[in-house]
Amino acid sequence: MLALMSASAAVAALPAIGRAQGSPTKGQDVLIVYLTRTRNTEALARLVQARTGGTLVALQPQQPYPQNYQAHVDQVVRENEQSLTPALRNPVDPAPYSTVFVGFPTWGMQLPPPVKSWLAQVKLSGKRVLPFNTHAGFGVGSGFETVQALCPNSTVLAGLSIEGGYEKRGQMLMLQGDRARRADEQVAQWLARHQIS
């Protein structure tokens, strides 16, 4: 199992979002796409990247979501009710990769609309897809099932779900320090179960 970076270092290296990052030799067949709001999913994505060496890309909606929590929730509810999928600023092409990690927070107990957008736009046929999730203590909801439904011709492996922040209570980036170390252990076990290094 590769341990390219410690859990603390991976989470500490959170600054650059939106650019493809990865090693040109290790993990060249691995793509890690994620959506984040409170940066917990980003922290988890960076732990996956540190262990796989994959290319790391943050999905960014063309029209950013409101910073205000309640306005954000209202928009997500509206998008889910109307089956709206927002346009993305950087719809990364997964074609060169055979293994694709898809990371997302739980929004309204569902897969966030921008992740639905990306999965609906791209072709993941024949690829291994590994979903991972952060949540506020209520679990992944229907997120993993939706990934499975949107990737009918892919091998969707069992996902990983880890408790992150709870924005409604003002708990933002929580995957730091000891919690990041515990999350890193869970990532290592998850990757080992799927024989990914």
The C-alpha atoms of residue 83 and residue 28 are separated, in whole angstroms, by 34
Joined tokens for residue 195: 């024989």
- Average pLDDT (31-43) is 97
Average pLDDT of the chain to the nearest whole number: 88
- Average pLDDT (6-10) is 45
- Average pLDDT (4-18) is 42
> What is the model's pLDDT at position 197?
76
Among 1-5, 28-32, 97-101, the minimum mean pLDDT is found in 1-5
**17 — alpha (psi -120 to 50), left (phi > 0) or beta?**
beta
Crossing angle for the helix pair 113-121 and 69-81, nearest 10 degrees? 40
- Average pLDDT (94-106) is 97
Cα angle, residue 89 at apex, residues 87 and 92 outer, rounded to 5°: 100
Cβ atoms of residues 11 and 44 within 8 Å: no
pTM above 0.75, yes or no: yes
The C-alpha atoms of residue 86 and residue 118 are separated, in whole angstroms, by 9
- Average pLDDT (152-171) is 95
> What is the model's pLDDT at position 26?
55
Helices (H), 17-90: 40-52, 69-81
